[in-house]
């Protein structure tokens, strides 16, 4: 059964493995462990049985939620799990007074751009050559009502 909960330090190793497999890069063990203790961060993990299948993480600073990373094991895509995780983070942020959500996504990541568009985010600007591989970052944003 699918469960959502806060990130635990013991999840970090599995998440680093998943991110590396899926995105070719990872926030890394140290950063994820730090975020698990950061009071301005909210990192939500999805589990299925005793397996960690993904996470979404954001920082909540001055009424702005910034989504830092979002990853789900492909075996669990297209079941609405992404939407549930996204909504859980948004609901948390709204309860804490967030007025906007924003994020950066790689220009080639059409799946993620589609997903965020479906959640009501709009492209607001481009950060040129933002990623290590030279790709641009698309900044997407939505006001939270
Ligand atoms: C982006 C990501 C988190 C979305 O996760 P997901 O669990 O597949 O998301 P959802 O299932 O909620 O929605 C994805 C699609 O499934 C569809 N869907 C939702 N519920 C569904 C259901 N019950 N049955 C069939 N399809 C469904 C949605 O309409 C959506 O369709 P689209 O891709 O054609 O727009 C996932 O693709 C991922 O981990 N990608 C790699 C990492 C990444 O790029 N992260 C973003 C970095 S910024």
pTM of the predicted protein model: 0.94
Instruction: Give the CATH number of the domain where residue 135 resides.
Output: 3.40.630.30
Question: Domain tally for the chain?
Answer: 1
* Residue range(s) defining the domain that contains residue 126: 2-143
Binding site membership of 2 for ligand 1 (Cβ less than 6 Å): no
- On the question of pLDDT at 82 being above 90, the answer is yes
Residue 70 has pLDDT above 90, yes or no: yes
Q: How far is the CA of 46 from the centre of ligand 1 (A)?
A: 14
List the one residue out of 82, 81, 80, 44 whose CA is nearest residue 60.
44
Question: Does the beta carbon of 109 sit less than 6 angstroms from any atom of ligand 1?
Answer: yes
Residues 11-44 pLDDT 10s: 999 999 998 988 887 888 888 889 888 999 999 9
- Residues 103-144 have pLDDT tens digits of 999 999 999 999 999 999 999 999 999 998 999 999 999 999
Q: Which residues contact 116 (CB under 8 A, 6 or more apart)?
A: 103, 105, 140
């Amino acid at each position: 059964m699918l469960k959502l909960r806060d990130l635990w330090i013991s999840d970090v190793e599995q998440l680093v493995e998943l991110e590396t497999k899926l995105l070719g890069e990872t926030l890394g063990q140290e950063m994820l462990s730090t975020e698990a203790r950061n009071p301005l961060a909210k990192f939500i993990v999805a589990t299925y049985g005793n397996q960690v299948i993904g996470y979404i993480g954001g920082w909540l600073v001055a009424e702005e939620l910034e989504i830092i990373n979002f990853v789900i094991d492909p075996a669990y895509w297209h079941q609405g799990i992404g939407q549930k995780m996204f909504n859980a983070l948004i609901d948390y942020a709204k309860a804490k007074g967030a007025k906007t959500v924003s994020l950066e996504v790689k220009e080639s990541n059409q799946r993620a751009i589609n997903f965020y568009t479906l959640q009501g985010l709009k492209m607001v600007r481009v950060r040129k050559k933002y990623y290590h591989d030279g790709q641009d970052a698309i900044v997407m944003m939505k006001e939270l009502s």
